[in-house]
A and B are shown apart, each in its own frame.
Chain A
Amino acid sequence: MQCEQIQSELIAYLHGTLSPQERAAIEAHLMQCEACSEEANAMRDISDKLSRGLKEWVNEGVCPPDVAERIQRSLRGESRRFTRRRAAAAITAVAAAAAVLLFALSTQPQFAQQVASVPFLGALAAHLLEPDLEIHLDPQQRMTAALFRPQRSVKLNVTAEAEGLKLTVTAAALSDQSLRIAYTLRGEGLTLPEDEKALMPTASTESGPLTCRSLTAEQGRGAIHFQLYCDAAPAGEAISLTVPPLPREQGGTFPSLTATFSY
């Protein structure tokens, strides 16, 4: 073989794409040709340098914070869509079972608690009711929130408003030991805070603060609908709900708002 031909095949030789015969022919030539042998060594050197250099450069990489944040945001959206798709699939696949289950859950609170302890059915019940965002200060509350069955429920329309943010308490419901307060926040450019726990409101009566355990949220058109689960308040006492200052898209925060209601 001529040197020119050998050198054009060196890439294939060094990267292992030759047949054993072709390989042997090249090796035989390299044994006796100094120029080609030097060329092969130089190619090997540059290959090693490239491989090492590129890998080092990649291993030192840091993702720019704005890109990382954009990805995390898109993934959170994806996670919600995925949950909804999964819930929709669950409904289709086991529609009959779900109907029976939900009927049982809605009519038999004790039975519902038992069902929640069965892994598959418990998970299904949670999926069917999954909101956009859940904050559970007490992990046990997830199932309690999913299986909350009110004994008494009151529709409300109590509002508080300041600096473009409107808080509306829309309902209060009482179960054995828990109170569920439904409220809505509307505001141009209202965004969810980085730390979701910063969304947690406080609730209190004249006798003192109520322990808030869970918050679920669903984003609707132009508003975010919340359901807060806290300890039941003594009947007839006025309850004050205070939402914390929340971030504004344009920068800064909306003010904290308080709405007082009774049920």
Chain B
Amino acid sequence: MTMEERFFALYRPEQGKLYRTAWAILGNEADAADALQEATIRAYRAFGQLRGGDVAFSAWMRRILVNTCTQILRKRMRVIPVERPEDLTAHPVTEVDLPLDGDVWDAVRSLDERYRAVVVLRFLNDMQLEEIAAALDIPLGTVKSRLHAAMKQLRNRLNALEARKEGRGVDAV
């Protein structure tokens, strides 16, 4: 088996998950595709340095992808003016804004970028708050306040959605 074949044998089963991880962090599919391509090439170049055998591949590859994505986010955030907390108050929750199929992802994706990134890194990638602060190059206090605000919004959205679903359920009966 050539190195390329070995790499692909390990990589291919992960590709769908990696794609969605990048999409979750970056918020859109075009950037996710670019990030995944870049991360895959980086991983391929460093494949010889993978320690721990084939079982370590999945976590190692995901780490490279998350690093690539947070690098892109850092660059992207640099061009956005420093926020005041009130600027980040996301769109008011209205019927139109509510996710249609109740997916947690649909609720998360509708958050402001800075909220979404923190939520995804914490709950999808299980990163510690300090790690998130370092990855996004923002103070720990900002991570906490964003996470707090994001969770409040998500709670409202998901509760409203559940209530609406229950209403729909009653109608259907």
| A57 on the B face (CB < 8 A) | yes
Q: Are A17 and B104 in contact (CB under 8 A)?
A: no
Range of interface residues on A (Cβ < 8 Å)? 35 or more
Q: Are B108 and A61 in contact (CB under 8 A)?
A: no
Please give, as numbers and ranges, the residues of chain B lying within 8 Å of A64 by CB-CB distance: 19, 29, 33
Please give, as numbers and ranges, the residues of chain B lying within 8 Å of A61 by CB-CB distance: 16-21, 23
| B57 on the A face (CB < 8 A) | no
Other-chain contact of B128, A17, A51, A52, A60 (Cβ < 8 Å):
A17
Chain B proximity mask over A46-72: 1 for CB below 8 Å, otherwise 0: 110111111111111111100110111
Q: Are B19 and A15 in contact (CB under 8 A)?
A: no
Binding site for A on B (CB under 8 A): 3-4, 7-8, 15-21, 23-24, 29, 33, 36-37, 40-41, 44-45, 103-105, 108, 119-120, 122-124, 126, 128-130, 140, 144, 147-148, 151, 154-155, 158
Q: Which residue of chain A has the shortest Cβ distance to B23 in the bound complex?
A: A61
Distance in angstroms from A135 CB to nearest chain B CB is 13
Distance in angstroms from A126 CB to nearest chain B CB is 12
Other-chain contact of B151, A46, A53, A67, A71 (Cβ < 8 Å):
A46
| A22 on the B face (CB < 8 A) | no
Q: Which residue of chain A has the shortest Cβ distance to B19 in the bound complex?
A: A63
Other-chain contact of B33, A43, A55, A57, A70 (Cβ < 8 Å):
A70
Other-chain contact of B37, A54, A70, A82 (Cβ < 8 Å):
A70
| A234 on the B face (CB < 8 A) | no
Known contacts A15-B122, A63-B16, A78-B44: A57-B144 contact under CB 8 Å? no
Distance in angstroms from A55 CB to nearest chain B CB is 6
Q: Which residue of chain A has the shortest Cβ distance to B119 in the bound complex?
A: A50
Q: Are B123 and A57 in contact (CB under 8 A)?
A: no
Q: Are A54 and B128 in contact (CB under 8 A)?
A: no
Other-chain contact of A71, B20, B36, B148, B158 (Cβ < 8 Å):
B36
Residue contacts A-B, CB under 8 angstroms, 6 given = A11-B151, A50-B104, A64-B33, A71-B40, A74-B37, A76-B4
Measured in the bound complex, the distance between the Cα atoms of B115 and A50 in whole Å is 13
Other-chain contact of B17, A58, A67, A71, A79 (Cβ < 8 Å):
A58
* A contact face: mostly helix, strand, loop, or mixed: helix
| A16 on the B face (CB < 8 A) | yes
Most chain B CB neighbours (cut-off 10 Å) among A16, A42, A46, A49: A46
Q: Are A49 and B158 in contact (CB under 8 A)?
A: yes
Distance in angstroms from A49 CB to nearest chain B CB is 6
Please give, as numbers and ranges, the residues of chain B lying within 8 Å of A123 by CB-CB distance: none
Other-chain contact of A17, B4, B23, B126, B130 (Cβ < 8 Å):
B130
Known contacts A15-B122, A16-B128, A70-B37: A53-B105 contact under CB 8 Å? yes
Measured in the bound complex, the distance between the Cα atoms of B140 and A16 in whole Å is 13
Q: Are A46 and B140 in contact (CB under 8 A)?
A: no
Other-chain contact of B123, A50, A76, A78 (Cβ < 8 Å):
A50
Q: Are B129 and A15 in contact (CB under 8 A)?
A: yes
| A8 on the B face (CB < 8 A) | yes
- 5 smallest A-B Cβ distances: which pairs? A53-B104, A61-B20, A61-B16, A54-B124, A50-B123
| A12 on the B face (CB < 8 A) | yes
